[in-house]
Amino acid sequence: MTFLLITFLTLLLFYLGTGKVKKIALIRFIWLTFISLLAIFGYFKNTTSTPPRFIIVIIGSILLALYSIKTIDPDKIKFKTLLLLHSLRLPIEIGLWHLYLKSEIPKIMTFNGYNFDIIMGISALIIYCLLQVNHQKKLFKFMYYWNIMGILLLSVIVGIAILSAPFPFQQFALEQPNQALLKFPYVLLPGIIVPMVYASHFIALNRLKNVISVM
pLDDT tens track for 72-99: 999 999 999 999 999 999 999 999 999 9
What is residue 68's predicted lDDT score, i.e. its pLDDT? Answer: 94
Backbone region of residue 50 per phi and psi (left: phi > 0; alpha: psi in -120 to 50; beta: other values): beta
Residue 41 has pLDDT above 70, yes or no: yes
For the segment 43-83, what is each residue's pLDDT rounded down to a tens digit? Answer: 998 888 878 899 999 999 999 999 999 999 999 999 999 99
- At residue 215 the predicted structure's pLDDT band, cuts being 50, 70 and 90, is low
Q: Which residues lie closer than 8 Å to 116 by C-beta, 6 or more apart?
A: 153, 156, 157
Sign of the Cα pseudo-torsion (138, 73, 21, 38, in order) = negative
pTM for the model: 0.92
Question: 146-183 burial, b for 16+ CB within 10 Å, e for fewer?
Answer: bbeebeebbeebbebbbbbbbbeeeebbeebbbbbbbe
Say how far apart CA 203 and CA 74 lie, in whole Å: 6
What is residue 132's predicted lDDT score, i.e. its pLDDT? Answer: 84
The residue type at 134: N
What is residue 190's predicted lDDT score, i.e. its pLDDT? Answer: 94
CA angle, residues 68, 69, 72, in degrees to nearest 5: 70
Strands (E), the chain: none
Q: How far is CA 160 from CA 108, 164, 168, 170, 178, in A?
A: 8, 6, 15, 10, 9
- Is it true that the peptide bond before 185 is cis, omega within 30 degrees of 0? yes
For the segment 130-180, what is each residue's pLDDT rounded down to a tens digit? Answer: 988 876 667 888 999 999 999 999 999 999 999 988 887 778 867 888 899
